A = this chain, B = another copy of it.
Amino acid sequence: MNLVEHDRAGYATALEQARLGAGEGGVPIGSSLFENGVMLGAGRNRRVQNGDPTAHGEIDALRNAGRRASYAGTTLYSTLAPCAMCAGSIILFGIRRVVVGEEKNFPGELELLRSRGVEVVVIDDPKATALMEDFTTRNPGLWNEDIGVDEAQPDPAQ
């Protein structure tokens, strides 16, 4: 796995955010944006907390990092594989490196990221997997809502 020393702090921040979200009754996915070991922003899924369907962890972290003219040299951390919206934000802003906690609970759009030249590192962190597994088992409807799986449709968009 192509981890660097700085990744420890970046990923720990994302995992802490996921746990904060779990404590708030939210979807437990956390994220952070770092540049050379310095945190630019952190966030967590706030669909439940803010009633905001676009507030995925990565979007929240990018929002909290604020306006930037350049994302060169930044790494985005997320406890879960980014969905199409969050992968799209990574592509849009030219973030070149993404470190992902796990992809077992959701495959995300890792291939789309790679096809656009983004380096994707999957840690395969059992703590992140357990956190999400516990959440999706207890809250299948909320989880489907968050990833756009329409329970009323025979052929969901996902």
Interface size on A, residues (CB 8 A): 42
**CA of A87 to CA of B53, assembled, Å:** 15
A100 within 8 A of B: no
- The answer to whether A94 touches B54, judged by C-beta atoms less than 8 angstroms apart, is no
- The answer to whether A152 touches B53, judged by C-beta atoms less than 8 angstroms apart, is no
Q: Which of B54, B89, B93 contacts A62 (CB 8 A)?
A: B54
A141 to B, closest residue via Cβ: B69
The main secondary structure of chain A at its interface with chain B is loop
A35 within 8 A of B: no
A23 within 8 A of B: no
Question: Given A51-B66, A54-B62, 11 more contacts at CB 8 Å?
Answer: A53-B62, A55-B63, A84-B87, A85-B88, A85-B89, A85-B91, A86-B88, A92-B148, A92-B157, A94-B148, A94-B156
